[in-house]
Amino acid sequence: MSEARVDLHTHSTASDGSLAPAELVRAAARREVTLLALTDHDTTAGLAEAADQCAAAGIRFVPGVEATCQWREREIHVVGLAMDAAHPALQDHLRAVLGLRRARLAALCARLDALGLPGSAIHTECAALAAPTRTHVARALVMHGAAADLEEAFERWLGRKGRAWVRAEWPELAVAVGAIKAAGGIAVLAHPHRYRCSGGQLRELCAAFSAAGGRAIEVSLAGMGPGDTASACSLARRFDLAGSLGSDFHDPGLPWRPLGRFVKLPEGITPVTALLDCAPRPGS
């Protein structure tokens, strides 16, 4: 395990990544990844293609998803790993979230129209996507010349302080964890360092996550500093959660999220891979 290159958090064109699932797997193979999860936002549409390509490349594949949800009105992401992607409880859940995504897209594009930007055109471009995200809208805004790059598109228009910000009512954290569990998956609290919570709030979040059946927390993700990892490890120990790791890779053009970056889990943390080994495998 210590020599394995593990990446358990990645995105493809099935959500807001820029590589198709098979391309993502080929890029992972070039980086000598041996264990890979595809975890697109609220969709499992890319998993079959990624699984096939992993089989061809000799990479062990973990089916995954990154479920958008909320806890105390704060947006939280939960990565599901090694679930039965076809399970009806999971698919029903994801269908509902994708419905919320489409409704938010329409509201957001209406705001863009009201701001004199080509919201209707962007809506037409994005509405057909299985999992429309703000990243798609940001790319379209850049294409239409309304922002120089994605960062500016979020800052000026789409981010929390942007002029076209629309708040979505995502499903509750416990509901998302429940759907992943029902499908036999391991629920992992994603990127705890990004929630802008106090230490006390993070502990309450982890308590709620654990009570709902969450099993692991990301302790080593690209973009996490040593202090972030130390805090996440202390949460892992306190709430008896395993540690997960990955890149949150979206695009080869974003070098600060390198696919398959090689990291070691800190001492004293149970690797989430130990839980994956006993999780039911798809098809078994």
Q: Which residues bind Mn ion (CB under 5 A)?
A: 16, 66, 77, 190, 248
Nearer to Mn ion, 119 or 192 (CB): 192
Long-range contacts of 89-93 (CB under 8 A, 24+ apart): 89/178, 89/179, 89/182, 89/183, 90/44, 90/65, 90/179, 90/180, 90/182, 90/183, 90/185, 91/44, 92/179, 93/67, 93/171, 93/175, 93/176, 93/179
DSSP 257: S
Q: Which of 86, 95, 99, 151 binds ligand AMP (CB under 6 A)?
A: 151
Nearer to ligand AMP, 102 or 203 (CB): 102
Identify which of 44, 41, 247 has the alpha carbon closest to the alpha carbon of residue 134. Answer: 41
Residue 23 Cβ vs ligand AMP, minimum distance, rounded to whole Å: 18
133 binds ligand AMP (CB under 6 A): yes
Two tokens at 188?
A: 């992992």
- What is d(CA 284, CA 2) in angstroms, rounded to the nearest whole number? 26
Nearer to ligand AMP, 249 or 279 (CB): 249
- Residue type, position 258, single letter: P
Residue 114 Cβ vs Mn ion, minimum distance, rounded to whole Å: 26
Footprint (CB under 6 A) of ligand AMP, residues 227-266 = 250
Residue 137 Cβ vs ligand AMP, minimum distance, rounded to whole Å: 8
Residue 154 Cβ vs ligand AMP, minimum distance, rounded to whole Å: 4
Helix or strand (DSSP H, E) at 66:
strand 60-71
DSSP 185: P
Nearer to ligand AMP, 134 or 261 (CB): 134
Q: Which of 150, 219, 241, 269 binds ligand AMP (CB under 6 A)?
A: 150
Q: Of 88-96, 127-135, 203-211, 263-271, which part binds ligand AMP (CB under 6 A)?
A: 127-135
Residue ranges in contact with ligand AMP by CB under 6 A? 16, 41, 68, 133-135, 150-151, 154, 159, 250
